[in-house]
Amino acid sequence: MNQNIIISGNLQADLSHALGDISHDRLFVLTDTTTHRLCWPLVEVFPCLKEARLITIGATDENKTLESLSYVWTSLQQGGATRHSLMVNLGGGMVTDLGGFAASTFKRGMAYVNIPTTLLSLVDASVGGKTGINFGGLKNEIGVFSTPRRVLLSTEFLRTLDFQGICSGYAEMLKHGLISNEAHWADLLRFDLDEIDYARLQELVAESVAVKARIVEEDPSEKGIRKALNLGHTAGHAFESLALLSGHPVLHGYAVAWGLVCELYLSAKRLGFSKHKLQQVIQFVREHYGTFAFDCRQYDRLYELMTHDKKNTGQEVNFTLLADVGDVRINQTATRDEVFDMLDFYRESMGC
């Protein structure tokens, strides 16, 4: 695994060592209102953070905006930050995405460290160097690739999460299992989300992070195999954007879970992905994530949202599909009619 990704058994010692290794003149910590309340108290007593200046923004994806970004830039400026300063992003994917983008663009770039505090950010948002904000009603429309100097992964924070927060992150782990191998996938299906074994969860998190880190290292700027990580995301981001536009936002992982149902149906139809495994996914998703309700009058809007996906090169929608667990096929395009058929299947199988 990338040496900058640290599976932490002692967060205080590991953070102190990481900050000591990165030369900086001033230290800033970014939180949102939720992580300021639940997570900052766990680390604010660390001696290595005693000189840190705290910046706090609103929580949830609704605040992953240009306004929040501007507030962070202003806080850095007023706090005397230079390009030699360092920012620690303490939070979920929204905080690490926005904080990474703020740090990467302030003074043309200052160093940053991610400490993800949700399961979703542990296994997805904190690794890979994607930063950015939502813009114009579209997910992650503005951003840059910028690698954090360190990522400290600690499951200490997971006990602060509710069931929905755990499930949201677990959807990305399901995706990692699907693009990895049968054994990894089977382990994930067996794990009991209702009675969580946190020691076992940490092992599964490490496996998930290793899958993503290996792919990102091979293709850091998403020209080829890194697109494997987009499984479930073309449809999922459309669901997420539609929900955001309607004023009823959904958690990213839930949208990905629903997107997996859609894209594995396309995989079964186009590439012969096992219908039995598709049914396994449908059952797991319905049981743990419920369903995202929409009707055929919203098909055009969902299709339009999919055409805005950054993976597209023309008017057709680009998907990452599977011929089998671990057998990834990138750059699979689908027509409008195929997308509508996929949405029909989703509504029928998920009981919309």
| Tens digits of residue pLDDT in 82-117 | 999 999 999 999 999 999 999 999 999 999 999 999
Number of compact structural domains in the chain: 2
Query: Residue 342 is part of which domain span?
Result: 166-350
Averaged pLDDT for residues 20-32:
98
Same domain, 325 and 212: yes
| pLDDT > 70: percent of the chain | 97
Task: Encode pLDDT of 302-321 as tens digits.
Answer: 999 999 876 666 667 999 99
Whether pLDDT at 157 is above 60: yes
Same domain, 147 and 53: yes
Q: pTM to 2 decimals?
A: 0.85
Same domain, 195 and 344: yes
Q: Indicate the pLDDT class of residue 30, thresholds 50, 70 and 90.
A: very high
CATH of the domain at 200: 1.20.1090.10
Same domain, 156 and 170: no
Task: Encode pLDDT of 175-220 as tens digits.
Answer: 999 999 999 999 999 999 999 998 899 899 989 999 998 998 888 8
Mean pLDDT, the chain, integer: 94
Q: Indicate the pLDDT class of residue 53, thresholds 50, 70 and 90.
A: very high
Same domain, 287 and 171: yes
Averaged pLDDT for residues 345-350:
97
Comparing CA positions, the residue from 174, 199, 197, 196 lying closest to residue 187 is 174
CB 203 within 8 A of CB 225: no
Predicted pLDDT of residue 156 = 84
Predicted pLDDT of residue 1 = 55
State which of 144, 160, 176 marks the end of a domain: 160
State which of 138, 160, 182 marks the end of a domain: 160
CB 125 within 8 A of CB 92: yes
Same domain, 52 and 130: yes
Same domain, 98 and 15: yes
CB 317 within 8 A of CB 333: yes
State which of 129, 160, 191 marks the end of a domain: 160
Task: Encode pLDDT of 158-167 as tens digits.
Answer: 888 899 999 9
Same domain, 232 and 148: no
CB 258 within 8 A of CB 285: yes
Same domain, 151 and 170: no
Predicted pLDDT of residue 182 = 96
Q: Indicate the pLDDT class of residue 75, thresholds 50, 70 and 90.
A: very high
Same domain, 197 and 234: yes
Task: Encode pLDDT of 216-269 as tens digits.
Answer: 888 887 889 999 999 999 999 999 999 989 999 999 999 999 999 999 999 999
CATH of the domain at 147: 3.40.50.1970
Which residues are tagged catalytic? 108, 130, 172, 212, 222, 226, 230, 233, 237, 252
Same domain, 62 and 185: no
